[in-house]
Amino acid sequence: MKFFIDTANLDQIREAQSLGVLDGVTTNPSLMAKEGIAGKKNILNHYLEICKIVDGDVSAEVISTDFEGMVKEGEELAALHPQIVVKVPIIKDGIKAIKYFSSKGIRTNCTLVFSVGQALLAAKAGATYVSPFIGRLDDNSTDGVELIGQIVDMYNYYEFDTQVLAASIRHTMHIIKCMEMGADVATCPLSAILGLLKHPLTDIGLQQFLNDYNKLNK
C-alpha cells in the first residue's frame, strides 16, 4: 500500500518525506488556497517545489470544467515535471479529458468520486488513479470504506489497471480499514500518518528498556 500525503504545505511534506515512507503527494485547489498560493505562476512554482521534495507522484488539479480547458491546463501541468499527475473531476468533460490524456500517455487522478459507477467510468477512460472521498461519504451517513471495497473488487474482477487511491482520509482507522479493503494508495493528512506510530505499550515498553539500561549504565 502506497502512502501519499494530502496537503500543499511544504513543511508537512518535508516532515513526511523525512520518514522515508512517503510515495507521493495529492493537492487540490482548497489545499493550495489554504497555503495562500494564488496566481498561475505561483501555483505552478509550488508544484515544482513539491516535486523537488518528494520522489513520487504529485497530483495537481485542473480548474477548468470544460474539455478544451482541462486539456490545455492538464498538458501544461504534465509538461511541468514528470512526477505530475493531472487531477480531473468525475464530470462528463472530465471523463473525455481523462480518455484524451490516457491516449497521450499523460497520467491522471480522477477525483471527487463517491460511487462505484463513477469509478467504473474513470477506469474505462483510462485513469491512472481513482480517488473515492471516504471521509466526506462518512460525513453524509454513508460508509466510505465500503465503497473502497466495492471499487477494489470491481477493478480486480474486470482487471482494470486503475489504482484505488483512498482520499478524504481523516484518521488512522480509515487507513487501516482501507488497507484491509485492498486500496492501492491512501492519501492522508500528516496527523493520520503519524497516528499510526502511536501505541501506549510502545511508550511504556521503551521507557522500561531505557530505565533498565540506565540502572547499570550511569
Per-residue binding letters, 163-182, with ligand G3P (x by CB under 6 A): ----xx--------------
Instruction: Name the grid cell of 16.
Output: 513526511
Is position 87 annotated as part of the catalytic site?
yes
Please, are residues 102 and 127 in contact by the beta-carbon 8 Å criterion? Answer: yes
Q: Shortest Cβ distance from residue 188 to ligand G3P (Å)? A: 8
The three cell numbers of residue 116 are 462505484
Phi first, then psi: give them for residue 89, nearest 5 degrees.
-75, 150
- Compare residues 103 and 132 and give the one whose CB is closer to ligand G3P: 132
* Spatial CA neighbour of 27 closest among 100, 148, 49: 49
Out of 3, 6, 32, 77, the residue judged to bind ligand G3P by CB under 6 A: 6
The reply to whether 2 sits near ligand G3P by the rule CB under 6 A is no
What gap in Å lies between CA 12 and CA 17, rounded to an integer? 8
CA atoms within 13 A on the CB side of 51: 19
Return the range that interacts with ligand G3P (CB under 6 A); candidates 116-124, 132-140, 145-153, 210-218.
Answer: 132-140
Q: Does 136 bind ligand G3P (CB under 6 A)?
A: yes
Nearer to ligand G3P, 60 or 121 (CB): 60
Catalytic residues: 87
